[in-house]
């Protein structure tokens, strides 16, 4: 690291901290300032290389350096800096699990949020492609594709190879990538008549009744897991209902760098969530990325918004919530069925919530169940894995996960992220499908 002081200590004893995202400051969009910071960070990363196995941003960076005339960052053409940015899908694993130089270290290195700044500058300067706009417009696409006749047509066409090849050539969506199914019978429709018979019982850490933020994916693409969530929570005497209305959490637009669009989703969602919280509900959602959005990204984007900070304190991953209840012996363990051998993939956006592996803990409470935990990225990221230019790389990132599942020969393989589960299944290339952990726990309860 040619520009860094060699006397600086290695790593931190303190917990990582995160700075607020100063995205409304005009200086945030200063490209010259960005490139100065990118050069500083790339130089540190080049001298460390701990993150080489995480995603393709780091191998891309290191190849650029190693193939340059100087074999240092100063030999890399600055136009090529964008190649590193394009491979970052903001999983946050480098920040949370690998980097020894994150704040409060004096080098103050936040790789993913620097990539976010670069994406925001690029989005403001160039806009997004038609493909990327469509892939990240989950509400609009889901509403259209969820029309009964349309959903069956879309789901069928997505499985026809010649049609997918046309989609690849026209839209840049890889012909082999797994695309989610759309359901006209959404989770909200399936559970429209749900009336809770449970009586709320609060603990020190939970209110004891839950409003579900169904998420775009849970509502339209995986309604089964939302239904499973309701069944499990009601079985545990937790009154469960939906947040009155919701739009996309904003994570797809965040990954695109469209921060103004993220703000618009926040303007709709936060008042709805606050309304439920003020009625004594905790918020739970089935998709880790959506929960992370409210726990981390929105609070950092809007550090002075009291409502955003209040939601942060009252939103939970479903397994986090159940295990908090277990601390006060409010979790039922009347499991009727064992699960056998389970390969459990801990998704990136769950791991970086710093709540521990609560899904694994609950799965291991089921009698005669053995859990093999896989803490590697699946490479999916929601949109990265379906793009023509990135799909093959995403499958390469997923290969260690796939190999570990194959070696364990489980009765079930599962991931908190249903898209990651599909990505793993795509690599396994057999007749078995991923089963969501909520579905497994419902099966274990026999409900």
Is 204 in the same domain as 316? Answer: yes
Q: What pLDDT score was predicted for residue 9?
A: 60
pLDDT at 278 over 80: yes
Residue 1 has pLDDT above 50, yes or no: no
Alpha-carbon gap, residue 333 to 354, rounded angstroms: 25
The model's confidence at residue 6, banded by pLDDT at 50, 70 and 90, is very low
Give tens-digit pLDDT for 358-379.
999 999 999 999 999 999 999 9
Q: What is the pLDDT of residue 3?
A: 47
pLDDT exceeds 80 at position 247: yes
pTM over 0.85: yes
Is 351 inside any structural domain?
yes
pLDDT level of residue 337 (50, 70, 90 thresholds):
very high
254 and 162 belong to one structural domain: no
The confidence score (pLDDT) of residue 148 equals: 67
pLDDT score, position 135: 86
Residue 141 lies in domain: 130-171
Residue 405 counted as domain residue: yes
CA 131/CA 122 separation, integer angstroms: 16
**To which H or E segment does residue 342 belong?**
strand 340-345
Rounded Cα distance between 239 and 233, Å, is: 7
> Does 41 or 167 have the greater pLDDT score?
41
What is the pLDDT averaged over residues 253-271? 95
Q: DSSP letter at 387?
A: B
My answer on whether 117 and 140 are in the same domain is no
pLDDT band at 158 (very low <50, low <70, confident <90, very high): confident
Nearest Cα residue to 317 out of 346, 274, 279, 340: 346
The answer to whether residues 347 and 245 belong to one domain is no
Residue 12: pLDDT over 50: yes
Whether 371 is covered by a domain: the verdict is yes
Give the pLDDT confidence of 52-84 residue by residue, as tens digits.
Answer: 888 999 999 999 999 988 999 899 899 999 999
The residues near 4 (Cβ < 8 Å, ≥ 6 apart) are: 43, 44, 47, 107
Tokens for 342? 């389970």
Angle of helix 111-126 versus helix 31-48 axis, rounded to 10: 150
Same-domain pairing of 339 and 440: yes
Tell me the C-alpha distance between 445 and 385, whole Å. Answer: 34
- Cα separation, 46 vs 44, whole angstroms: 5
pLDDT number for residue 198: 85
**Is there a domain that residue 179 lies in?**
no
Residue 234 lies in a domain: yes
pLDDT band at 281 (very low <50, low <70, confident <90, very high): very high
Structure tokens at 336: 């009727």
pLDDT at 108: 92
Q: List pLDDT tens digits, range 170-180.
A: 889 899 998 88
Which pLDDT value is given to residue 5? 45
Q: Are residues 342 and 283 in the same domain?
A: no
Residues 6+ apart with CB under 8 A from 183: 146, 151, 220, 221, 223
Contact 113, 21 (CB under 8 A): yes
The CATH code of the domain that includes 393 is: 3.40.50.1860
What residues have CB less than 8 Å from 238, skipping those under 6 apart?
A: 198, 200, 208, 209, 210, 325
Per-residue pLDDT at 48 exceeds 80: yes
340, 412: one domain = yes
Tell me if 13 is assigned to some domain: no
> Given this model, what pLDDT does residue 61 score?
94
Whether residue 206 has pLDDT greater than 50: yes
Question: In the predicted model, what is the mean pLDDT of the chain?
Answer: 91
Domain-located, residue 91: yes
The position carrying tokens 């080049």 is 46
- How many domains are contained in the chain? 4
Q: What is the pLDDT of residues 399-421, one digit of tens each?
A: 999 999 999 999 999 999 999 99
């Amino acid at each position: 690291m040619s520009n860094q002081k060699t006397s600086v200590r290695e790593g931190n004893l303190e917990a990582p901290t995160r700075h607020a995202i100063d995205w409304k400051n005009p200086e945030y969009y200063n490209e010259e300032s960005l490139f100065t910071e990118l050069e500083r960070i790339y130089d540190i990363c080049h001298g460390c290389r701990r993150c080489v196995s995480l995603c393709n941003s780091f191998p891309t960076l290191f190849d650029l350096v190693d193939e340059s005339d100087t074999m240092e960052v100063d030999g890399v053409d600055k136009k090529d800096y964008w190649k590193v940015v394009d491979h970052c899908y903001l999983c946050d694993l480098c920040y949370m699990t690998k980097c020894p130089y994150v704040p409060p270290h004096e080098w103050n290195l936040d790789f993913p949020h620097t990539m976010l700044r670069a994406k925001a500058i690029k989005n403001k300067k160039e806009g997004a492609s038609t493909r990327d706009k469509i892939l990240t417009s989950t509400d609009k696409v889901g509403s259209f594709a969820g029309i009964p006749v349309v959903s069956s047509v879309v789901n069928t066409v997505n499985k026809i190879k010649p049609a997918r090849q046309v989609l690849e050539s026209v839209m840049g969506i890889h012909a082999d990538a797994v695309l989610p199914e759309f359901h006209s019978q959404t989770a909200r429709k399936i559970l429209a008549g749900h009336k809770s018979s449970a009586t709320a019982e609060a603990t020190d850490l939970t209110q004891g009744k839950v409003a579900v933020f169904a998420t775009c994916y849970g509502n339209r693409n995986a309604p089964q897991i939302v239904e499973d969530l309701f069944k499990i929570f009601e079985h545990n005497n937790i009154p469960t209902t939906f947040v009155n209305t919701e739009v996309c959490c904003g994570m797809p637009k965040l990954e695109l760098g469209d921060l103004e669009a993220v703000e618009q989703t926040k303007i709709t969602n936060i008042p709805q969530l606050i309304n439920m919280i003020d009625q004594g509900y905790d918020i739970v959602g089935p998709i880790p990325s959506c929960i992370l959005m409210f726990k981390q990204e929105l609070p950092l984007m809007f550090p002075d918004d009291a409502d955003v900070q209040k939601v942060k304190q009252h939103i939970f991953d479903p397994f986090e919530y159940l295990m908090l209840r277990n601390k006060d012996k409010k979790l039922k363990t009347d499991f009727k069925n064992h699960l056998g051998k389970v390969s459990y993939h801990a998704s990136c956006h769950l791991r970086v919530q710093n709540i521990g592996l609560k899904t694994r803990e609950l799965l291991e409470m089921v009698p005669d169940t053995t859990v093999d935990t896989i803490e590697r990225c699946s490479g999916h990221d929601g949109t990265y894995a379906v793009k023509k230019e990135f799909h093959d790389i995403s499958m390469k990132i997923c290969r260690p996960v796939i190999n570990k599942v194959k070696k364990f020969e489980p009765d079930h393989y599962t991931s908190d992220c249903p898209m990651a589960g599909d990505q793993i299944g795509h690599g396994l290339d057999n007749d078995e499908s991923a089963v969501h952990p909520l579905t497994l726990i419902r099966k274990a309860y026999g409900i």
